């Protein structure tokens, strides 16, 4: 029986403004990393236990003004 290790990676899509894109590019260059690698590093810095932890972190970093809700 052939067993293979299968790693499933989730895809996270983040919309950035032009200013946020420039800041990300600057910070990743300073760190000597590609933007995607730098974002993965930031995500892995602090493990999240629950969705509430994620929301608390997002609120601390960006504030609620960044959340956009579209009603149809």
pLDDT confidence band for 40 (50 / 70 / 90): confident
When the pLDDT of each residue in the chain is averaged and rounded to a whole number, the result is 77
Per-residue model confidence (pLDDT) at position 26? 92
Per-residue model confidence (pLDDT) at position 14? 78
Parent domain of 56: 18-66
Task: Give the predicted TM-score (pTM) of the model.
Answer: 0.51
Q: Hey, CA dihedral for 52, 27, 14, 7, is it positive or negative?
A: negative
Within a domain: residue 3? no
Within a domain: residue 40? yes
Within a domain: residue 12? no
Within a domain: residue 45? yes
Q: Count the domains in the chain.
A: 1
Within a domain: residue 10? no
Residue recorded with tokens 């629950």? 50
**Dist. CA 35–CA 21, nearest whole Å:** 9
Within a domain: residue 54? yes
């Amino acid at each position: 029986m052939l067993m293979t290790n299968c790693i499933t990676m989730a895809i996270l899509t983040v919309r950035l403004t032009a200013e946020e894109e420039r800041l990300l590019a600057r910070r990743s260059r300073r760190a000597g990393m590609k933007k995607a690698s730098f974002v993965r590093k930031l995500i892995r810095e602090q493990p999240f236990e629950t969705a509430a932890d994620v929301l608390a972190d997002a609120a601390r970093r960006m504030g609620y003004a960044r959340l956009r809700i579209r009603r149809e």
